Structure 1
Amino acid sequence: MAPFFIGKDIAINCWNEIPNLKDYVHFYTHVNINSASVPVGLFAKIRPIYTSSFLAWYLLTYLGAHKDAFKTIEFGIEHTLFKNGREITFEFVTSNSLQPYFMILFKNEMGDELFAGNCKFTMETLSIRSILPYLSSKSLTNFYFDGSYMNTPRLPSTDQIIHSVINTIKVHKRKIVYISANILGNENILCIIAQAVNKKIHVSTDKFAILGKLGLSKYFTTEPSTTYIRTIDYSQISIKKVSAR
């Protein structure tokens, strides 16, 4: 998702240079999993960046950011700060179904604004109990979200796809199964598959470290010889490359 701005004070997920960079309060709700590093000097210019403890850890560990660039915020607690003479009140909103991304609820006298960012909303995810109170609030005036999957009647639902994958694995039991996965993302789907077939899934050491931070490592292993379900990078998904393994 591209950088997003609310008014003249709030910048969310800004990876690039923008005019008057220091005039904004900066938030990060997700990271670009395809980035190998952060823009040189960016975090030094826009600190502090308000984010979750997990995303701060990820940026420090994998993208070379500096620890002083971040201010981590707990979920479900209201915070207030001041910028350009304006009071900005916000709360980080999370759901286990949407890890590791999260949402931000901005509160003001004119009404609340909910930024959902990279959380992909379908009709199923809109019914998640921890999110419903925010969506049904009478004070909510603006809702910003990625609607990529909202109007796709020709595509099966996420649940249908997961069910199909699980059935395929069970039918071809003991056959080696490769699932494409980036270092960050789809953790909840992999957990559902692992539980359904009662088998750990092999992941890279980097992804295993991330899963540990999310409290999900019990469903995974870094030893490929102990399981027939294995993840590989998206770039490795092809008949030729998989057949060569």
Structure 2
Amino acid sequence: MSNGKIIANTPLAVDFWHVRRCPESRLFFLSHMHSDHTVGLTSTWADRPIYCSPITASLLNSKLQVKEKFIHPLEVGESYLLPLDDIGKETMTVTLIDANHCPGAVMFLFEGYFGTILYTGDFRYSPSMLRELFLATSDIDVLYLDNTNCDPNRIIPSRMQATQQIKEVIRSHPDHNVVLGLYGLGKESLLVELAMEFQTWIEVSFDRMETLRLLSLPDVFTTEPGAGRIRVLEQREISFASMCQWNREQPTLAIYPTSRPLILFHPKLHVVPYSDHSSYQELVDFVSGLKPSSLVPIVGNGIPGSLSTFVSGKRHDVLVPESVQHYMRRLPENMHKSSASLQRQHVRPCVPKGVVFDSPGSPSKKPRECLAQDFSSSEEEEETDTDSFDYNLAESSQKLPSSKSRGNPLGTSRRNFTRIITKKRLIAQRVPFNQFSQSNFSRMKILKKTGVCLKPRRCTTASVSNGACARPVWDDKDDDDSNASVASSSSSQGSQAYIEQLENEILKDVVFPPQDFEPCFLLQDSDMLMLPLCPIRKLNLP
């Protein structure tokens, strides 16, 4: 879920990266690097500037690999003049204010033809914010408010109180290791304080260590397993199975420092309401101190009526300058390039590939054109007729690599071998229709008795030499068919005995495994599809 907004009647977008849904936005702002505020922002971002704090700029380049030329870091507490059109006629002022949320998190104060807009992003209110010079001297027309904890029934302690609760939990388990479930960024000050309090290293992953190096924090972190008593993991890595495994090795407790309601799935799991978002009472203090003309929630659409009482409701119509309208309507150059590139890819001609493999889910739209190009590129190929197609697997003697089709759970390969039959070969294989007889159209007789499983009795060399095994004896419970065959062959008993003697001489040292006599999957009449034969069309040859 994306917690970003498009600022109405402006070319501005904050924490919103779906370019196709905001074609008129030209200036993009990133409040901080939490994943719910970077949805849609990838390394392919191009041709539109991103404004953020210096810490966020470093994380944006190292974590998402966004090119540096599109990242414009702005110092916190400074005001910057940015153009809002192509001719420099219309400008605005933007000021970054510390949001007291996570490293690099800021609030944006925009001032321009649209009035004064304060976008908080994620923030934790402190009384010092209202004493900021930029906020103390500004009348806020629109306040975009972080309403994550905007619930009068939810009690959120201060971060100092929550930190003391976490310390008490750890002190009450002196023989336990501690696992903290955190996001990839945030609550670093809590980790430093716990390291100092309990005089231990904080064990982190290699990825988190790279982030911590960019933040210039005290040297209390390590990647060595087991070096410290406290270990930091992603919240999703803490589960019931992992808790059981850790406690089998060493007594371990887990702590979730979060204000979100969670289910306690293990007796040694503790949830402490440590939050980097403002509590409801803090939001009341913040809004009542600013007294904005209008209020827009960042998360969802709900704002309690008690907060609305601090909104003055004085709205003025925003007139967008003509130069800004032209600037918002103009498409960036990369939009034209990308669309042209996609169009070229769509009409790209078929490349000769030899044998054509068609995916079962996406058959070729024009197989005949592709096949014609494949075979016409060879100078030694005979003259072909592109209207005649046939599937001939027997004549294909080359070995082809296996290609597993998607969606096939058995892993069997499916191939479509398509070849063009030449006119000379077609004439050689033709059979006149008057030469067909009724036997060519008769059904094949297939054994229907699928329960038959013949198992020969093994004959030793001694028994064969003594004549004790003159003929194989078949282990079959239902031997009516074999008795009938013996009766019918009584007239040729002498020749049959000679044949059996030869068979025993050949097979006397051969051992048949039971797998050789397992029944194959015999076809039923219902499994056969009888198709009438159709004579080949006569060609008018020159």
2:185 corresponds to:
184
2:96 corresponds to:
92
- Describe the SS at the equivalent of 1:226: coil
1:15 corresponds to:
17
Alignment of 1:38-57 (within 5 A): 38-39=41-42, 41=44, 43-46=45-48, 48-57=49-58
| Cα pair 2:200 2:228 within 8 Å, conserved | yes
| Cα pair 1:33 1:184 within 8 Å, conserved | no
The amino acid of 1:28's aligned partner reads L
For normalisation by structure 1, the TM-score amounts to 0.83
2:106 corresponds to:
102
CA radius of gyration, larger in: 2
The amino acid of 2:110's aligned partner reads F
Alpha-carbon deviations, 1:122-181, whole Å to 9, x = none? xxx332x25542554453333222111133444341434322211011121241100011
| Cα pair 2:122 2:146 within 8 Å, conserved | yes
- Describe the SS at the equivalent of 1:104: strand
Alpha-carbon deviations, 1:62-106, whole Å to 9, x = none? 212112111111111110011134311011112566423111111
**Structure 1: gaps of 5 or more residues:** none
1:240 corresponds to:
241
1:157 corresponds to:
157
The Cα RMSD (Å) is 2.7
Change (3 A) 1:154 1:52: closer
**Partner Cα separation in structure 1 for residue 99 and residue 153 of structure 2:** 25
**Partner Cα separation in structure 1 for residue 35 and residue 22 of structure 2:** 27
Identity among equivalent positions (%) equals: 22
- Describe the SS at the equivalent of 1:30: coil
| Cα pair 2:14 2:31 within 8 Å, conserved | yes
For normalisation by structure 2, the TM-score amounts to 0.40
**Partner Cα separation in structure 2 for residue 154 and residue 27 of structure 1:** 31
Q: Point out the more displaced range, 135-144 or 97-106.
A: 135-144
- Describe the SS at the equivalent of 1:140: coil
2:403 corresponds to:
none
The amino acid of 1:230's aligned partner reads R
2:171 corresponds to:
170
Change (3 A) 1:98 1:111: farther
Alignment of 1:68-147 (within 5 A): 68-84=69-85, 85-94=89-98, 98-108=102-112, 111-119=115-123, 121=124, 125-127=125-127, 129-130=128-129, 132-133=131-132, 134-147=134-147
Change (3 A) 1:10 1:154: closer
**Structure 2: gaps of 5 or more residues:** 247-542
- Describe the SS at the equivalent of 2:126: helix
The count of residues paired between Structure 1 and Structure 2 equals: 238
**Partner Cα separation in structure 2 for residue 49 and residue 95 of structure 1:** 18
Structure with greater strand share of residues: 1
Q: State yes or no: 1:65 paired with 2:66.
A: yes
| Cα pair 1:38 1:64 within 8 Å, conserved | no
